[in-house]
Amino acid sequence: MEPALIGTRLASAAIGPLLKKLLVSDAPGAGLTGTAPKVRLSGLVSFRGEKRTLTEKDVRRLATTLVERSGSGPGEPPFPADETGAVTDTLAATLLALGDLDMDDVQAVRMGHQDLARRLRAAAPAPDGLSTDSVLYLESMTEWACLHILEFFTQRPTFVARGLVEQTRGQAELIAKMDEVIRRTPRPDGRDAEFERRYLEHLARKHGRLTIYGIDLHETPDRWPLDMAYLSLEATGREDAHPFDEEAAHVAWQRDPAALRADLALTRHDRILLRGLAGSGKTTLVQWLTVSAATDHHAEDMAYLRDRIPFVLPLRTLTRHGERLPSPDLFLTAAGCPLTPPDGWADRVLAAGRGLVLVDGIDEIPEGERARARDWLRGLLDTYDGNRWLVTSRPTAVRDDWLAGDGFTELTLSPMARTEVTTFVRRWHRAAGPEAAPFEQPLLDALRTTEHVAQLATNPLMCGLICALHRDRRGYLPRGRKALYEAALSMLLARRDRERDMGTPYGITLDEAPQIQLIQRLAYWLTRNGRTQMDRDHAKAIVTEALPAVQEAAAHPPGTVFTHLLHRSGLLREPTADTVEFVHRTFQDYLAAKALVDSWDIGVLVEHATDDQWEDVIRMAVGHARPRECAEILRELLTAAAGSQDRRAQLRLVTLAATALDHATEVAPEVRDEVLARAAEVIPPRTPDEARELAAVGRLVLDLLPDPEGLTEEAARMVVTTATHISVDASIPYLAKFTGHPALNVRAQLVWGWHRFDATPYAEAIIARVDPTELRFIVGTEEQTRELLRLGIRPDHLEIGPGVSDETVATLLDWSDPRSLDLVRASSEPDLRGLGTLGRLETLSLELPPDGAWKLAALSPSVPLRGLHFSPWPEEGVRGLALYPGLQNLAVWETPVPTDAWHELAEVACECLMVKSTDLDDCPDGIVLSHVGELVLDVMGSPTPSLRWVAEIFPSLRRITLVGGSPLHDPLDVSPAAALTLLEQLQAPGLTLTGAEHLPAQVRIAT
């Protein structure tokens, strides 16, 4: 039956007053005074709340009348007569659902009667067993009723006032957004827009191609489209975060950082310091981010860079003459961009927060200049807000907290996993053309079965060299890193031009040995001076000076020899018209090491042993050295370690010796034993930093790590930390020895290490066997989740990262029904239906983006909830927590507490509240949280936090814990004077203060 026909039948009976009985006739005005929230629909119906005039039984009688009167009159009945009772019940239930809708009258009118009817039908129980005619009748009847209900709303005296308030607020929000758009829009004269178009095209051309080493052996180009060659790698945060501790849950909710795609890291963090080894892909990542921002054809997941203007700032170029680092107006000139921007353009871009600033290579400038580079960077950060910043460096070039105080998140590029190596090999062979296709599968087989080959394939540079050599040598690969580089040099220096029938384009022919002798002089000068670039004229002078000693080259003009080396060696390039550098830093290190050994500069090696720029040089020097020279280098390193008073320097020197040992072609047994014995002295490591540095030694250290028997709990955690950072299959059998360890933090480290290995073998050997007692299982990928389900593991404590889809989350939660859950979602509107299936949930930590939307109603009201931590604030507030009488701990310190939400908190009976001290300043007068006996207060960011209102707000307080940010052991960011003031304010009988052990001595005395 059509709504119009129903309306005609009911209108004749003057049914309007009957429907009006569903609604309360009076209500507040526009809601501008007092603290009362907006009037929701649940407060406007007459069968709920304090002004109840109808009961549910009365609503059913009203539905009966509506059904009877709409069915009367001429024509056939709208539905079968035997379904009258069921239709009436369904209509009554639909009308009662009006009190369950989470909206107010203005929102309902804006929605319209048809959408309101759909919302009502969705909120009410679905018709069960009714005929099609009955269902259609109910749909039409509900629409007609909603039309009259909305008419009643518009006639209420409060509606116009509240509608104007909503309209005014919406206009203010729209104006603010338009102002922001205007602020970010280029100047009206169009010069900025036109220049940006040309500039982005320039960046796309300049950075849109990538060298794939070794592909240029035949008739193929030496550079390939970036989107074909680029391989997205993972980055991880600091790995010394603490495992979950049930007893400390009221203090801090701690979580190991999940791995994430390096090219998506800037979606989560605006400022990143990215560390990575030589050849790990740092500069390629900079190129990828640049091209993604500069073009409209980037991948969908890179769309977050749309409208960003990249500034690519390679530090080696900016400081090659020791110049001052440039201001924004000189960015393009300093980076070698030939375009001239409009005056003030870079300043306008950065001031509008539209910049993508990519500072590449902190490690490629001398150590003495790095502090100056940091000051330069800080000046930019202080001046320009809202931009995205990425700084790259080798792992040990700067200390761990080098930029932490400036809001930078530190991430490290992970070594390539087996699946990533496979992907790279397949792409390489596809790019190399059909001639390379027969060698693809044999190389993949070798990488899977031959350990020394797999050990070398840890980053894109080494993978590319292995692919090139494997094809070039018709399936044969040299053993060891030194042999690999020797083969690569032979391929680049001697065989490439010959096999391509290049002839002698510069009129000379030089064998491999003389070219190496000349080029290594350049490498030696660059390394000794802490540079990666040099003036073209200086490079030419070095070659000219060396020519008389190189017999084969001495007969040729110096300029011709230099030009030949520059353009035909494959090792050098000209980033600008007046500079020279190696195609990759690794080749510079290799040849500098050879030059140092040839000149017997062992003292120079040892002198620079603690300099991060010399680590690879020293390792390769041991590989170049003859047995007597090798023994001297290793013993000198051990002597330097013994003479150092710095524990970190000692560890670095010993591990460097152990790392170099693996590069030695021949070494005396007594020297090897001495190095291994000294390495054993630093095992187990004492701190997570030492564990990671020890892991850099590689697979060799696995033979030195002790078994679990006899280790203290802390020692066991450190050796497991070391082994989880050695991402080779040989680590898994060693780690499996600890699966039954009684210490929670040891087993937690085992679970954390899962993401560094292939999901299936690690799951079978470790995850399936680890003692699950109080253990928090961490899953960050779909593969890990599938393994938990396949192995039948039901974790009591579960952490799920943003890399797991909502559908998979729902499946996993339904399967495991954990007691505690830490759920991180990347979407602003995640599907949280899986939470409603949980029946045992005791503690929940839910983290969404700042603009995320969620409701407490996603939780089942029957779960025995004891602890809750969320960010952001739930849409309907926290009054719903009254459904959980067992709630003990509530953490709201990661999301600002709305001022009016303090009234809601006063109604939540929780024993322990975790909140920021700055939020206390916004607590309205008269608010009393008498149920709170323990307060965990985050004072980070409050130079002089005031707690004078604590006693009034929390009259039952027995214990207060001061936290300087999470985790708890961080030093408090409070001055001594301010801390003394805090303690004086908190003097109260029976009140216990913790966290003071991290305060200065004079403050502890006051405690």
pTM metric for this prediction:
0.46
Give per-residue pLDDT as tens, 33-77.
344 445 566 667 777 766 677 777 878 888 888 888 777 766 677
pLDDT at 948: 57
Q: Are 542 and 525 in contact (CB under 8 A)?
A: yes
Give per-residue pLDDT as tens, 886-921.
999 999 877 888 888 888 888 888 899 998 877 887
Residue type, 666: E
pLDDT at 327: 93
Query: What mean pLDDT, rounded, does the chain reach?
Result: 80
pLDDT at 420: 84
Query: Mean pLDDT over residues 616-623, rounded?
Result: 88
Q: In 97-220, which ranges are continuous DSSP H helix?
A: 105-111, 113-123, 132-155, 157-184, 191-207
pLDDT at 311: 96
pLDDT at 971: 37
Whether the per-residue pLDDT at 31 is higher than 50: the answer is no
Backbone dihedral region for residue 31 (phi beyond 0: left; psi -120 to 50: alpha; all else: beta): left
More confident residue, 878 or 993: 878
Q: Are 34 and 85 in contact (CB under 8 A)?
A: no
pLDDT at 796: 94
Least confident of 31-45, 113-127, 335-349, 467-481: 31-45
More confident residue, 221 or 96: 96
pLDDT at 26: 55
Confidence of residue 700 (pLDDT cuts 50, 70, 90): low
Instruction: Give me the residues paired with residue 534 across strands.
Output: 580
More confident residue, 689 or 102: 689
**Cα 683 to Cα 690: distance, rounded to the nearest angstrom:** 9
Query: Mean pLDDT over residues 486-502, rounded?
Result: 62
pLDDT at 246: 30
Measure Cα distances from 940 to 971, 983, 999 in Å.
9, 16, 13
Give per-residue pLDDT as tens, 278-322.
667 888 899 989 999 998 766 677 888 988 999 999 887 777 666
Confidence of residue 959 (pLDDT cuts 50, 70, 90): confident
Query: Mean pLDDT over residues 441-465, rounded?
Result: 76
Confidence of residue 103 (pLDDT cuts 50, 70, 90): confident
**Cα 895 to Cα 761: distance, rounded to the nearest angstrom:** 39
Query: Mean pLDDT over residues 163-189, rounded?
Result: 69
**Cα 668 to Cα 280: distance, rounded to the nearest angstrom:** 33
Whether the per-residue pLDDT at 411 is higher than 50: the answer is yes
pLDDT at 268: 87
pLDDT at 614: 86
Query: Mean pLDDT over residues 943-965, rounded?
Result: 69
Give per-residue pLDDT as tens, 110-132.
888 888 888 888 888 877 778 88
pLDDT at 964: 61
Helix (H) or strand (E) holding 788: helix 782-790
Give per-residue pLDDT as tens, 625-675.
888 889 998 998 999 888 888 777 787 788 888 878 878 888 889 998 898
Whether the per-residue pLDDT at 500 is higher than 50: the answer is no
More confident residue, 478 or 558: 558
More confident residue, 570 or 736: 736
Residue reference for tokens 């480290």: 749
Whether the per-residue pLDDT at 838 is higher than 80: the answer is yes
Whether the per-residue pLDDT at 168 is higher than 50: the answer is yes
Query: What would you report as the CA-atom Rg of the chain, rounded to the nearest whole angstrom?
Result: 35
Confidence of residue 513 (pLDDT cuts 50, 70, 90): confident
More confident residue, 19 or 93: 93
Question: What percentage of the chain reaches a pLDDT higher than 90?
Answer: 26
Query: Mean pLDDT over residues 783-805, rounded?
Result: 93
Least confident of 233-242, 376-385, 717-726, 759-768: 233-242
Q: In what order do the strands lie in the sheet with 234-236?
A: 260-261, 234-236, 409-413, 271-275, 388-393, 355-360, 309-314
Cis amide bond preceding 28, omega within 30: no
Give per-residue pLDDT as tens, 204-213.
998 887 765 5
More confident residue, 813 or 210: 813
Q: Are 346 and 333 in contact (CB under 8 A)?
A: no
Whether the per-residue pLDDT at 258 is higher than 60: the answer is no
Measure Cα distances from 984 to 723, 948, 951, 988, 1003 in Å.
48, 9, 13, 9, 10
